[in-house]
Amino acid sequence: MSNRILFLLVFCGLVASASAQSNFNRFNFTAGGGAGIGRGDVASFVGESYQGVVGGGINLNRWFGVDAEYMYYNLSFRPSVMNNQGLADASGHLQSVSLDGIVTPPYHLGKWGTYGIFGVGFYDRSVSRPNYPLATGAPCQPAWIWFNIYCFNGAVTTPGQVLGSYSKVAGGYNFGGGITRRLDHFHNAKLFAEFRYHKAYQSDVQTIVWPITVGVRW
Task: Output the pLDDT for position 184.
Answer: 82
Residues 101-142: tens digit of each pLDDT:
999 998 888 899 999 999 999 999 999 999 999 999 999 999
State how far the alpha carbon of 160 is from the alpha carbons of 41, 61, 126, 134, 163, in Å: 26, 57, 21, 7, 10
CA 22 to chain centre: 30
User: What is the pLDDT at residue 14?
Assistant: 39
Query: What's the predicted TM-score (pTM) here?
Result: 0.85
Q: Which domains does the chain have, with CATH numbers?
A: 27-217 (2.40.160.20)
Average pLDDT, whole number, for the chain? Answer: 90
pLDDT tens per residue, range 171-182: 999 999 999 999
3-state secondary structure string across 50-79:
EEEEEEEEEECCCCEEEEEEEEEEECCCCH
Instruction: Report which of 140, 141, 120 is spatially closest to residue 45, judged by C-alpha positions.
Output: 141
The DSSP bridge pattern shows strands 91-103 and 64-74 to be antiparallel
Contacts of 121 by beta carbon, 8 Å cutoff, 6+ apart: 69, 96, 97, 98, 99, 171, 172, 173, 174
Can you give the pLDDT of all 218 residues of the chain as single tens digits?
555 544 444 444 433 444 344 456 889 999 999 999 999 999 999 999 999 999 999 999 989 999 999 999 999 999 999 999 999 999 999 999 999 999 999 888 889 999 999 999 999 999 999 999 999 999 999 999 999 999 999 999 899 999 999 999 999 999 999 999 999 877 788 999 999 999 999 999 999 999 999 999 98
Question: Can you tell me the distance from the alpha carbon of 56 to that of 58, in angstroms, rounded to the nearest whole number?
Answer: 7
Q: Is 77 exposed, middle or buried (0-12, 13-18, 19+ CB in 10 A)?
A: buried
Structure-derived torsion over alpha carbons of residues 149, 122, 195, 49, reported in degrees to the nearest 10: 30
Which residues are CB-contacts of 213 (< 8 A; sequence separation ≥ 6)?
32, 33, 34, 51, 53, 178, 192, 193, 194, 196
Angle subtended at Cα 32 by Cα 66 and Cα 178, rounded to the nearest 5 degrees: 60
Q: Using CA of residue 125, residue 198, residue 34, residue 85, what is the dihedral sign?
A: negative
